[in-house]
């Protein structure tokens, strides 16, 4: 084959990979490729992968049990400053990368295990809110009429309250605890998913392929959940990614107030709340959990921004 022929074959293969010939590339594969080409998506994905690694490897990375009191086990002082041997700390003294908290526990181990709790909080809260929000929004947008009015008015009532204050009220009624905090956050974030799903379903159900399915005699449930909803998920996926960051912040806020995670659970918001009065005498006990929250929220926000850009047809034509 001559040089021109080889070049033509290579160009055809390239075109085929991009979905212009043969089997088209799936939407989600294209989205992933676009996401990885953008800086926000790259940085966000890298941060989240790092956090997932820390959460999975927590038993290996953490030198101590996060709930273990070290008084009587090692020569430590209450709220002791960080001790790192390579940075000049006495090599005869036990090494504690983030110091000792007010209950004689290793702060570094607690921050490491806190990654597990915060990621679990964000994912579980958004999963619950996403399931019920998408279900209610899809039914509202597809059927309209009294169903739409009833569901949307309930959502409007929930949106009428500041989200954190409503979450505090729900937890105050149900009692403090991480499970009740997760339920409260799911309830206050549910309307956002319901309204976005409703708007997306309203736009998709007017497209030609939906009318064709109706003519062919498809049932309402089949049409809604197999034809309309899969094509309406793009804005919902972006909102869910950004919602994980918000859920982690809300959970940290409730724990900071003593309404979420209860001692001795190593949750970042609870760690901030227990040491908030020591910000000048032991700033490391406030700094490290705060930075952990900031990095986690930043990672999900960057990933959400990257997904939004990757899924926006105006930026990818």
DSSP string, 104-169: S-BHHHHHHHHHHHHHHHHHHHHHHHHHHHHHHHHHHHHH-HHHHHHHHHHHHHHHTS-HHHHHHH
**What is the Cα–Cα distance from 151 to 115, expressed in whole angstroms?**
36
Tell me which architecture the domain covering 34-316 has in CATH: Orthogonal Bundle (1.10)
What average pLDDT does this structure show over 201-215? 79
Q: How confident is the model at residue 15 (pLDDT cuts 50, 70, 90)?
A: very low
Give the tokens for residue 142: 């597809």
Averaged confidence pLDDT in the chain: 85
Which pLDDT score is estimated for 100? Answer: 93
Higher pLDDT, 290 or 34: 290
Query: Span 220-225, mean pLDDT?
Result: 81
Say what the pLDDT of residue 313 is.
Answer: 55
Query: pLDDT tens-digit profile of 121-136?
Result: 999 999 999 999 999 9
Q: DSSP label at 74?
A: B
pLDDT, tens only, 29-63? 776 777 777 788 889 999 999 999 999 999 999 99
> Where is pLDDT greater, at 24 or 50?
50
């Amino acid at each position: 084959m001559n040089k021109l022929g080889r070049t033509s074959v290579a160009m055809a293969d390239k075109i085929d990979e991009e979905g212009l010939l043969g089997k088209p590339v799936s939407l989600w594969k294209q989205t992933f490729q676009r996401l990885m080409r953008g800086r926000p998506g790259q940085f966000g994905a890298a941060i989240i992968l790092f956090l997932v690694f820390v959460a999975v490897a927590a038993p290996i990375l953490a030198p101590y049990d996060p709930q273990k009191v070290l008084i009587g086990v090692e020569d430590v002082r209450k709220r002791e400053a960080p001790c790192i041997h390579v940075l000049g700390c006495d090599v005869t003294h036990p090494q504690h990368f983030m110091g000792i908290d007010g209950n004689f526990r290793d702060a570094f181990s607690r921050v490491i295990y806190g990654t597990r709790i915060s990621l679990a909080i964000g994912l579980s809260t958004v999963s619950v809110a996403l399931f019920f929000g998408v279900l209610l929004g899809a039914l509202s947008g597809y059927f309209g009429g009294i169903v739409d009015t009833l569901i949307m008015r309930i959502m409007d009532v929930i949106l009428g309250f500041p989200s954190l204050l409503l979450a505090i009220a729900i937890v105050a009624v149900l009692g403090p605890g991480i499970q009740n905090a997760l339920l409260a956050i799911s309830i206050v974030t549910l309307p956002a998913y319901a309204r976005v799903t409703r708007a997306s379903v309203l736009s998709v159900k007017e497209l030609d392929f939906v009318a064709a399915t109706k003519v062919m005699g498809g049932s309402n449930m089949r049409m809604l959940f197999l034809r309309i909803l899969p094509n309406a998920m793009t804005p919902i996926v972006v909102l869910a990614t950004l919602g994980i960051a918000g859920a982690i912040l809300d959970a940290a806020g409730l724990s900071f107030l003593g309404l979420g995670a209860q001692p001795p659970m190593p949750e970042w918001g609870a760690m901030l709340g227990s040491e908030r009065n020591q910000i000048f005498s032991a700033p490391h006990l406030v700094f490290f959990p705060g930075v952990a929250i900031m990095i986690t929220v930043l990672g999900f926000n960057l990933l959400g921004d990257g997904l939004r850009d990757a899924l926006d047809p105006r930026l990818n034509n």
